[in-house]
Chains A and B, each alone.
Chain A
Amino acid sequence: MIPALALVLGVTLGLVLEPTVPAALQPYLPIAVVAALDAVFGAVRAQLEGIFDDRVFVVSFVSNVLVAGLVVFLGDQLGVGGQLSTGVVVVLGIRIFSNAAAIRRRVFHA
């Protein structure tokens, strides 16, 4: 309940404040968002399976974001930033899909 309200609050804040992304953060923000989404989907799945742990969620969320940003940063330094962010997005996307599939099985039993 509280987390859902917090999510709505964050979205509302973003819509109301209309901040611009700092130029230094621009390459990392989309990757960070995708990594966080991966963590959130994993958390929903764990919740449904009854193994959700707040601590695990917080750590996985932060580490997901940090690692994704680090990978993109490294790629930028090596000159393969574009390809590496594509790779990160693909991997995270696969994880999101598999989590979504597990949630679907749990919820609809199908």
Chain B
Amino acid sequence: MTLPAEPGAAGPDSPGSLLRRLLTPRFRRVDLAVAALLAVLGFAAVIQVRSTQAEGPLAAARQGDLVQILDELTNRNDRLREEISALEQARREITTGTDRSEAALAEARRRAQLLGVLAGTVPAAGPGLRLTISDPRGQIGPEVLLNALEELRAAGAEALQLEGATAGGTPAPPAVRVVASTSFLEGEDGGVLVDGTLLQPPYRFVVVGDPATLATALSIPGGVEDDVVQRGGRALVERSEDVRVTAVRPLPEPRYARPAA
């Protein structure tokens, strides 16, 4: 048999007869085998090309290149990992910093509220009592109210306002928030000037504090109630679990005093 790859010694056909022979279908068994082999070849070549394309560029790379690529990837991975941990650290710091400043802000707000109660800039509510002092004879002057105020303060009053009837009978009775700088002056024709607001009797203290202590302080012998009664008035104490001190005053900006650390 002659191998197909060996150079042929036989003379070539004329092109026409070769073409004719090639185009004539033959169906011997060996022809079918040839056809089957060629079909298998085409099939195998196509799936090989496909799988090579599917594997991507790395499949064709040499071992050394692969090692280098792997190395680079590892280094980059390490760098990115370091970056991640640094960023996480920064995030933690920022978060705790935010928490701290939020806590400081909440604390400052709380203190501002407490100081506002003391300074009379915010309303206050809580248990306490109402002390109503009537003055039918016009004998109760600012000194009585001042005594009563000091008695109440000594008994632990935390927020106070003083209400009175108006001279002209305006709808809302005037109320003055009583703070450290509050002054009491005698009105021109009866009544009391409290921080520049004229109050007419009956006067009424609205006090937030321990009701029992406050009531006891007012009723001691020779105390506020006795004093009022001696001057021909009446002192009426109503305890309450929910007293509302609603009058507020603006916060004066100190002209001279500055906070000194």
A residues contacting B by CB (< 8 A) are 1-11, 13-15, 18-21, 26, 29-30, 32-33, 36-43, 45-62, 95, 99, 102, 106
Hey, which chain A residues are within 8 Å of B2, CB to CB? Answer: 46, 51, 53, 56
Q: How far is the CA of A61 from the CA of B44 in the complex (A)?
A: 14
Interface residues of B in 9-47 (CB under 8 A from A): 9-13, 18, 22-28, 30-47
Q: How far is the CA of A61 from the CA of B34 in the complex (A)?
A: 9
Contact of A51 among B9, B28, B50 (CB under 8 A): B9
Question: B221 to chain A: closest CB distance in Å?
Answer: 109
Hey, which chain A residues are within 8 Å of B39, CB to CB? Answer: 6-7, 9-10, 13
**Quick check: B51 and A21 within 8 Å, CB to CB?**
yes
List the B residue with the shortest CB-CB distance to A16: B46
Hey, which chain B residues are within 8 Å of A60, CB to CB? Answer: 3-5
Interface residues of B in 43-82 (CB under 8 A from A): 43-48, 50-52
**Quick check: B46 and A5 within 8 Å, CB to CB?**
no
Hey, which chain A residues are within 8 Å of B6, CB to CB? Answer: 46
Question: B13 to chain A: closest CB distance in Å?
Answer: 5
Hey, which chain A residues are within 8 Å of B40, CB to CB? Answer: 10, 36
Give the interface centre of B38, B39, B44 by most chain A CB atoms within 10 Å: B38
**Quick check: B43 and A14 within 8 Å, CB to CB?**
yes
Question: A39 to chain B: closest CB distance in Å?
Answer: 7
If over half of A's interface residues share one DSSP class (helix, strand or loop), that class is named, otherwise mixed; here it is helix
Hey, which chain B residues are within 8 Å of A46, CB to CB? Answer: 2, 4-6, 8
**Quick check: B48 and A29 within 8 Å, CB to CB?**
yes
Question: B4 to chain A: closest CB distance in Å?
Answer: 4
**Quick check: B4 and A56 within 8 Å, CB to CB?**
yes
Given A53-B1, A58-B30, do A36 and B41 touch, yes or no (CB 8 Å)? Answer: yes
Given A18-B50, A43-B4, A57-B4, do A33 and B45 touch, yes or no (CB 8 Å)? Answer: yes
**Quick check: A30 and B1 within 8 Å, CB to CB?**
no
Hey, which chain B residues are within 8 Å of A43, CB to CB? Answer: 4
Q: How far is the CA of A1 from the CA of B26 in the complex (A)?
A: 9
Hey, which chain B residues are within 8 Å of A19, CB to CB? Answer: 47
6 contacts between A and B (CB under 8 A): A2-B34, A3-B38, A47-B18, A49-B8, A51-B10, A106-B12
**Quick check: B4 and A42 within 8 Å, CB to CB?**
yes
**Quick check: B26 and A49 within 8 Å, CB to CB?**
no
Q: How far is the CA of A42 from the CA of B6 in the complex (A)?
A: 8
Hey, which chain B residues are within 8 Å of A40, CB to CB? Answer: 38, 41
List the A residue with the shortest CB-CB distance to B2: A51
Given A2-B35, A36-B41, do A21 and B48 touch, yes or no (CB 8 Å)? Answer: yes
Q: How far is the CA of A84 from the CA of B46 in the complex (A)?
A: 23
Give the interface centre of B9, B33, B34, B36 by most chain A CB atoms within 10 Å: B34
